[in-house]
Amino acid sequence: MKISSIATVPFTLPLRRAIGFAHGSMASTEHVLVEIHTDDGLVGRAEAPSRPYLYGESQASMVEAVRLWFAPSLVGLDPFRTDSIRGILDRTANNNTVKGAIDIALHDLIGQAVGQPCFKLLGGHTNRVRVTYVCGYSTPQEMADECAQMHETHGVTAFKVKVGVDPRKDAASLAAIRARLPDALIYVDGNEAFSEKDALNMLAMAAAHKVAWAEEPCPTPDTVARRRVAEHGAIPILGDDSCRTLSEVAREAMNAAIHLVSIKVARTGYRLSRDILGLAVAHGIRPLVGSQGDSGIGVLAGAHFCAAHRATSALPAELCFHLNLGADILVDPPPIVNGELVLDQRPGLGLTLDPDKLLRYRVDR
C-alpha cells in the first residue's frame, strides 16, 4: 500500500453562540480537512485547526503547505512509516497543526488497513473518556447556567472556566458555578492575562472556590514570573500555550513552571504527542488532553489518544467542544452521555463524513 495523493478541504463551522476569553472571542471555527488517499482505495482523514494567533497557520497557508511541500514529499511512500514520514515533514519548519493532521490521518488510514480502532493501536487502555466542558467568558449567571445545563443534559462533571478580564467578575463566576455544581471538578484558564502579582491573587481566590488548577495564568515569555507563580501559587499550574512542542515542554519542566501539561493532538499529532506524554510522566507532570476548538473529527482524534493511555485517561479531557457547534461535517458526531465519550470498534478514527454538510461549509468554492 502506497500513498497516492493528499487532498485538503478548508471548512468553517458556526458556533451556537460566541465564546469569550481573556483576549477576545470567537464566533466560528476554521479548519482544514486533510485526506490521505492510497493506491488500495483507503482514505485516512484528520482536521487541522486554523489558529494564526497561536501557530501562525491559516486555512490558506495549510492548503498551500500540503500542495507545495508535503504532498510531493509523501506520495509513493508506505503510510505505515509514520516515524520516517514525521522526519520528512520536519524538514519544513513550523506548520505544526497541518503536520499533526497528516500524522493523525496516517493513523486513521493504518487503523482501517488492519481493521482496528486507533485507541487500540496506540495503547488500548480503555474506550471511555471522561470529558471537560470549556466555559467561555460571560456574566457569572450565564456561565453558571451554561455549566449547569451541560451537567443536566450531558452529565458533564468537569469544567474549565475562562478568567482574566475582571477579578471581581472571575470570583463571582466561580462562586456561582460552585454553588450550582458543588461536587464538580473545576479549573480555570487565564490565557496568559495575569502579571505575577495578579496571578498569585487569582490563584488564592480560585483555591477558596475549590478550583483544582489554573491554566497559563502568566505570559509564556515571562519565565521568571511563571516559575515563581508555580512555586508559590495556591493551586497547581497547567501548561498549554507554553507547551506546543516537545522542546517547549522540556523547557517548562526544567524551569519547574508547570505541574500539569495539556497535550493537544491537533498541534502535535499522535507521534509527537506520545513523546510529550513520556516526557511528562518522567518528570512527574500530569498530562491531560486539551481542546483546539475541534469539530467532531478533532474530538474523536483526541479521544482515541486519551483512551489509549493510562496517564491521559486519569484526568478528564477537553473533548466536548463540538457541543458548541451549530453544525458538523460528520454524519454522527460523538455523543456525550453521563459525562463520557465512549469509542466504538470502528477501524481508524471511525469517521463517517456527511458530504452535503462538507459541501455547504467548505470555503474554497
Please list the active-site residues: 162, 189, 215, 240, 264, 292
The string of DSSP codes covering 231-263 is HH-SS-EEESTT-SSHHHHHHHHHTT--SEEEE
Q: How far is CA 187 from the centre of its chain?
A: 16
DSSP 217: -
| Spatial contact of 354 and 330, defined as CB atoms under 8 Å apart | yes
∠ CA(90), CA(91), CA(95), 5° rounding? 50
Beta strand residue intervals within 22-136, DSSP E? 24-38, 43-49, 128-130, 133-135
Contact (Cβ atoms closer than 8 angstroms) between residue 149 and residue 335:
no
**How does strand 340-342 pair with strand 214-215?**
unpaired
Give the CA radius of gyration of the chain. Answer: 20
CA atoms within 13 A on the CB side of 144: 17
DSSP annotation of 195 reads -
Inter-axis angle of helices 265-282 and 96-114, nearest 10: 90
C-alpha cell at 237: 499550574
Residue 88, Cβ density class (10 Å: 0-12 exposed, 13-18 middle, ≥19 buried)? middle
Residue with cell 498530562: 287
SS3 content of the chain, % helix, strand, coil (to 5): 45, 20, 35
Tell me the residue type at 345.
Answer: Q
Cα(128)–Cα(221) distance, rounded to whole angstroms?
Answer: 37
The residue whose grid cell reads 454553588 is 179
H or E element at residue 10: strand 3-21
d(CA 269, CA 102): 8
